[in-house]
Copies of this chain bind each other. A is one copy, B any other.
Amino acid sequence: MSSPKSATVEPVNPDLAPIEQQAAGFEAVREARRSETAEDYVELIDDLIKAMGEARVVDVAARMGVSHATVNRILARLSKEGLVNTQPYRSIFLTEAGADLAQQSRERHRIVVEFLCALGIDEATAERDAEGIEHYVSTETIEAFQTWTGKLAK
């Protein structure tokens, strides 16, 4: 702005994280965001199959709160990625990889919800927050959540 611009090299400053470390952090978040949709879809599809015997586009759309056109588009991607199998006008199936991902996702989801509840959050709020948080917790943090859920319950 006003004063002459300093060389690019490095801060003259205090208290900022190392550049590469901060960039890696944001990159990790973007990476997690990339898997978010896939995780939520396979988890929901698995839930529907378990509860209703089959997963239909129209039900996935209603529960995700999006149009069926959006669901179709996302299913095409998941299919390309080997997570679901679809045939025209048939209901949706999970591949083995898809079923595995669904199980892991459900497990992580459960751990986050139970932890938040153990903290005293009401269940509806815990459920809502978990739906976002679940995709951004590292393995270490998930394990800490599990541990603390036990301790806090006492």
Residues in A lying within 8 Å of B, measured CB to CB: 1, 3, 5, 8, 11-17, 19, 21-29, 32-33, 40, 47-48, 51-54, 56, 58, 62-66, 90-91, 93, 116, 119-122, 124-129, 131-133, 135-138, 140-141, 144-145, 148
Contacts and interface: CB of A to CB of B under 8 A. Distances in A.
A25 B127 contact: yes
B52 A8 contact: no
B25 A128 contact: yes
Given A47-B16, A121-B140, A144-B121, A11 B129 contact: no
B129 A138 contact: yes
Contacts of A23: 62-65
Contact of A137 (B1, B33, B93, B129): B129
B132 A144 contact: no
A91 B3 CA distance: 11
B127 A141 contact: no
Contact of A65 (B1, B24, B58): B24
Contacts of A126: 141
B129 A136 contact: yes
B90 A131 contact: no
20 contacts: A12-B52, A15-B51, A16-B47, A16-B48, A17-B127, A19-B62, A22-B65, A23-B64, A25-B131, A26-B65, A33-B33, A116-B144, A119-B141, A119-B144, A119-B145, A119-B148, A125-B138, A125-B140, A129-B137, A133-B137
